[in-house]
Amino acid sequence: MIPSSSGRPGRDAPGWRERAACEGEDLDTFFPVGSALWQAQRATSICAGCPVTEECLSYALSTGQDHGIWGGLTSEERRDLRRQWKRGA
């Protein structure tokens, strides 16, 4: 399922970023380099307790974010989600 957003594609839903659990965190954590598994694990653990995960994921999908951890999903997981959505699964 692709989450819906109250914002338009390419635009933020009002204020969701300010409520994100990652607010104030080092952005490098959410953009692991190479196979830095520990970074991805840390990022997804922060996302797990986030109140705006759906808005974040929706933003990433609607704006084509190909890199980093968004809405608790890695770039590979988001690609898989897009494929499933396109197939109607």
Given this model, what pLDDT does residue 7 score? 41
Given this model, what pLDDT does residue 13 score? 56
Domain contains 46: yes
CA distance 30 to 47: 10
Domain contains 7: no
For the beta carbon of residue 58, count every other beta carbon within 10 angstroms.
Answer: 22
Give me the domain span that covers residue 67: 31-87
Within the chain, which residues score under 70 in pLDDT?
Answer: 1-14, 35, 89
Q: Which of 27, 21, 7 is nearest to 68 (CA)?
A: 27
State the DSSP string of 17-30: GGG-TTTTS-GGGG
Given this model, what pLDDT does residue 50 score? 96
Into how many domains does the chain fold?
Answer: 1
* Residues 42-67 pLDDT 10s: 999 999 999 999 999 999 998 999 99
pTM exceeds 0.85: no
Domain contains 21: no
Domain contains 41: yes
CA distance 77 to 62: 15
Given this model, what pLDDT does residue 89 score? 56
Domain contains 79: yes
Given this model, what pLDDT does residue 52 score? 96
Domain contains 58: yes
Domain contains 15: no
Domain contains 6: no
